[in-house]
Amino acid sequence: MKIVQRPRRLRRTHSIREAVAETQCSVSQLVYPLFVQELGQDDAIGSMPGVTRWSEKSLPKVLENCLELGVRSVIFFPKIPDSQKDSLAQEALNPNGFVPRLIRESKKRFPELTLFSDIALDPFSSDGHDGIVREGKIWNDETVEILAKMAVLHAEAGVDFVAPSDMMDGRVGAIRSALDAKGFTDTGILSYAAKYASCFYGPFRDALDSAPRAGDKKTYQMDPRNVEEALREVRLDLEEGADFVMVKPAGAYLDVIRRVKEISSVPVAAYQVSGEYSMIQLGAKNGLFALEKAMEESVHAIRRAGADLIFTYFALDLARKWK
């Protein structure tokens, strides 16, 4: 054939492919989500093969392992016993509660860790919703007041970034002013800015027993059909003082990540959620593809789309692979 352009020349050897790879992803860009429980032992999570709900006493060993592998950023998700849940999610504001203690002790022992903490009421709410429920409605302003106090509590405990995942209106601004009023001007906010009402959170809710007892989360989380609305949410959160904006889930929302990246003046995070993780695990278990390849391809795609920071349950596996 008489063709001058032969793109395959740049794919001929491994070394050439490495030289021209457009997307780089390193361990320092990964955040590892950790499930932790106050009561009981380490439990395997049935819906998430390879993921454990750690007991408090195992946590230091797990964090040590993360640091050894170069994973320096983690986020905690607490499993709260039903006996501590109520309709006002009061346990979320207990200064001697499980989460503030986890933050305090982890920071004391491993000061080099970057800690994120999820800000939402669902683990503590007997209704399983991210906000206060009354008369079948989720009350925005009342919820934001609690979230701002919760953020201050986590800041007092020493968290680096609070991460509101509740999708109430105005919460980033309210959290920023509450933190500043108490002198926590260095505590940052990673906003789950564009969080969709997604079925892919299923395994997570199973892991924490935090599924809504009634209804769904569609009056606060976003409609999967929308992207302009995601940009509006991002613009608002930037105006309100977010230090990171997040898109969640990631794999089915790569276009949203790209659009957000194009307008964001702060780094963009993306969350490869529990359902994405478990689909890959179960697909590999069923012999459909190789686990290592699928996890790497999925994370590279999220990075290529524009994510600067990636929350993924594969963080440790990837760290081992990339070492």
Task: Select 122 or 160, whichever has its Cβ closest to ligand PBG.
Answer: 122
Catalytic residue among 248, 261, 285, 321: 248
Q: Quote the least distance from Cβ 202 to ligand PBG, whole Å.
A: 8
What is the binding site for ligand PBG (CB under 6 A)?
118, 120, 122, 130, 165-166, 201, 204-205, 273-274
Task: Select 48 or 260, whichever has its Cβ closest to ligand PBG.
Answer: 48
Tell me, rounded to whole angstroms, the distance of Cα 58 from its chain centroid. 21
Could you tell me what percentage of the chain is helix, strand and coil, using 3-state DSSP and rounding each to the nearest 5?
A: 45, 20, 35
Contact between 236 and 264 under an 8 Å Cβ cutoff? The reply is: no
Residue located via tokens 């924490």: 208
Which residues are CB-neighbours of 249 under 8 A, at least 6 positions away?
196, 198, 200, 201, 271, 272, 273, 275, 276
Task: Select 143 or 274, whichever has its Cβ closest to ligand PBG.
Answer: 274
Q: Rounded to whole angstroms, how far apart are CA atoms 81 and 78?
A: 10
Contact between 130 and 92 under an 8 Å Cβ cutoff? The reply is: no
Q: Rounded to whole angstroms, how far apart are CA atoms 247 and 258?
A: 10
Catalytic residue among 85, 195, 217, 261: 195
Q: Quote the least distance from Cβ 157 to ligand PBG, whole Å.
A: 19
User: Among this protein's residues, is 248 annotated catalytic?
Assistant: yes
Task: Select 35 or 184, whichever has its Cβ closest to ligand PBG.
Answer: 35
Contact between 163 and 187 under an 8 Å Cβ cutoff? The reply is: no
Q: Quote the least distance from Cβ 120 to ligand PBG, whole Å.
A: 4
Q: Quote the least distance from Cβ 214 to ligand PBG, whole Å.
A: 14
User: Among this protein's residues, is 182 annotated catalytic?
Assistant: no
Q: Quote the least distance from Cβ 18 to ligand PBG, whole Å.
A: 32
Task: Select 178 or 208, whichever has its Cβ closest to ligand PBG.
Answer: 208
Per-position b or e across 207-228, b if 16+ CB within 10 A of its CB: bbebebeeeebeebbbeeeebe
**Closest-CB residue for ligand PBG?**
204
The catalytic residues are 195, 248
